Amino acid sequence: MNNKVYTYDGTYPSLISLICYLFHNNIKPDDIRVDGYNPTLFETTIDLHIEKNEKDIIYILKKYGTHINSFIFKVFLSHDSKRELVIYYFLLNANKYGANVINMRNLRCVCKTLELARYVNNEAHKLKGFVRFQELANHILYAKISPVNDVLPLLSEHFKKRLNSEYWVIDDEGRSLVSIYDKKNYYIIEKSELKMDLENISDDENEISAMWCSFYETIGIKERENHRCRMNFMPKRYWKYMTEMSDECEKGN
């Protein structure tokens, strides 16, 4: 017998609408994937063309509250290939046990939900600190990231509050997505749609990044040097985009 893989268009509302549809019709999926998924020999893809319905989102939100919904949304942002199925099983158990389900760590889907949500949360929290903006010649602030999980929406929400009077662009290089902020709202779009000169930096950019480098160099206490400890808190994969960890920075000092 073939495994049935249900597909959706990759957006959060569509996923929730699809899952609600599956519940209603008592369908148990073997997997849920984004459109364009290549099925293996034992799988058939089924596209139900479910219209995304705001009502489903509101229904889930009202039924389980913001706390549980933020967990579900964070699982959706995770890089895990089974994230949709985790959400399906989590909501299935939530139907059965109500909002208390979040404490039932003996259920595998709950453990997995908490684990994935925590991973997304941690990465977003780390990047809230590690993101480095450069000022471009047109005074727009521009930052590059390439996170494991799709934390761009969470970061955008943070910087919308923090740098609310600046124009900024955050570029997720791994996913070719950019978040642009126009002093009112942020929009997440494909990078190819963005027509903007991102190469020219402003006049005093180099001077300021050099000051930051020299501050970073100075603030460490030689007698306490501990590279392992630094690496624990600030894993190497983030260094690539961090001003103070760049090669130019070391040369400058």
Partner 1 sequence: MELKDKLRILADSAKYDASCSSSGSNRAFKSGIGSTAIAGICHSFASDGRCISLLKILLTNSCIFDCKYCPNRRSNDIERAMLTATELCNITINFYRRNYIEGLFLSSGIIKNPDYTMERMIEAISMLRNKYHFNGYIHAKAIPGASEELLKKLGLLVDRMSANIELPTDEGLKLLAPNKDSHKVTQIMRYVKKEHSKNFAPAGQSTQMIIGATKESDYDVMLRSSSLYDNYKLKRVFYSAYIPVNKDNTLPTLIKPPLKRENRLYQADWLLRFYGFKVEDLLNNDKPNFNLLVDPKTEWALLHLEEFPKEINKCSYYELLKIPGIGTKSARRIIASRRQFKLDFSDLSRMGVVMKRAKYFITCSDRYMINPQFINRNFIETNLILDEHLKQESNNRYNQLELFHE
Residue list 2-31, contact with partner 1 (CB under 8 A): none
Residue 186's beta-bridge partner residues? 181
The residue from 30, 43, 173, 244 that contacts partner 1 (CB under 8 A) is 244
**Sheet containing 168-172, strands listed edge to edge, beginning at the edge strand earlier in sequence:** 134-135, 141-145, 168-172, 177-181, 186-190
CB of 149 to partner 1, least distance (A): 18
- 144 touches partner 1 by CB under 8 A: no
d(CA 73, CA 120): 10
CB of 4 to partner 1, least distance (A): 31
Render the burial of 33-51: b for 16+ CB within 10 Å, e for the rest: beeeeebeeebebeeeebe
Window contacting partner 1 (CB under 8 A); options: 44-52, 144-152, 179-187, 227-235: 227-235
CB of 210 to partner 1, least distance (A): 7
171 phi and psi angles, rounded to 5 deg: -110, 110
Residue list 75-114, contact with partner 1 (CB under 8 A): 100, 103-106, 111
| Structure-token pair, residue 56 | 């489903």
CB of 152 to partner 1, least distance (A): 15
The residue from 56, 123, 135, 172 that contacts partner 1 (CB under 8 A) is 135
Residue list 149-178, contact with partner 1 (CB under 8 A): 159, 161-166
Closest CB to partner 1 among 44 and 253?
253
d(CA 114, CA 108): 10
